[in-house]
Every structure is written in structure tokens, then in C-alpha cells.
Amino acid sequence: MIDTLLLAEATLAHITASFNALSGILLVAAVIAIKNKHEKLHRNLMFAAFGMSAAFLFTYLLRYYLEGNKGFPEEYGNVMYFYYTLLISHILLAMSVPVLAIISIFHGLKDNRDAHRKIVKLAFPIWLYVSVTGIMVYFMLYWIYIPIPEGA
């Protein structure tokens, strides 16, 4: 039973990271679409990116509920300082993404192009930074800096 629960928690981390990565990819694709004057494709890609971000948030909160906070392994010394600096910047900026995204979507749907462009100049780099740093945090925790078992 405990092994099954641990497997579910690890699987949720991978699913959460996948939603985050997909959100970032869709975000970049949406920017490419609008630069090529494909407004309908841009809108659909942005809705998909927003949906992936919502799915990310849901699975992240579920994983946090099941697993709690996963700390960085202390045995990796000074790397821990880089990790927590990255994590703090990621978390602080991530809190703004839903608000900025909703405001951007609102102005885009209302065809308030000037207001939409103005907010997107702030929202896009923040959202992309949050997606990229989220993937970096995931790889650092689950693939690169794995806790070293005692006696190993």
C-alpha cells in the first residue's frame, strides 16, 4: 500500500512537470502564431496553454497534499543555495501568472488590442520564466540531485 502511494506521488510529480512543460511550449507556439498573423490559432494555443497551467496547478496542489513539501537534499551542499534561489523566484513570479493570464485573456477576447499587448509584454516573459524554472526545479529534485541513501 505504501509503495503504491509513493509511486502515485512520484507519478504526480512527472505529470505536473509535463503539464508545466506543455504550457511553456504552447505559450511559445502562440507567440509564433500571432507574429505570423494567425489570430485564431494564437487564441486556441493560448487557451490550451492556460488549460495546461490550470491542470498543472491542480496536480501540483494534489501532489503537495499527498506528499507535502519536498526539500532539496542537503548532501549536495552549495547547489542547495542555487536551488532555493531559483525556487523562490519561481514561486513569487508564479503567483502572478494566473492574474496576468486572466487579464490578458479578458482583453484579448474583448478585442482591446492595446490593453492586451500592454499586459502581455509583462505576462509573457513572467509566464515563460515560470514554466522554464518549474522544469528546472523538477529536474533538480527528481532526476539530478537524488538523495544519497545512507551507507552508499
Range of the domain at 113: 2-144
Residue 118 located in a structural domain: yes
Please report whether residue 45 resides in a domain. Answer: yes
> Quick check: is 150 in a domain?
no
Q: Which residue has the higher pLDDT, 5 or 110?
A: 110
CATH number, domain containing residue 127? 1.20.120.80
44-97 pLDDT per residue, tens: 999 999 999 999 999 999 988 988 888 899 889 899 999 999 999 999 999 999
Nearest CA to 63 out of 136, 7, 112 is that of: 7
Residue 40 falls inside a structural domain: yes
Considering just the CA atoms, what is the radius of gyration of the chain in Å?
18
Q: Is residue 152 part of a domain?
A: no
Residue 64 inside a domain? The answer is yes
In a domain, 151, yes or no: no
Q: Indicate the number of domains in the chain.
A: 1
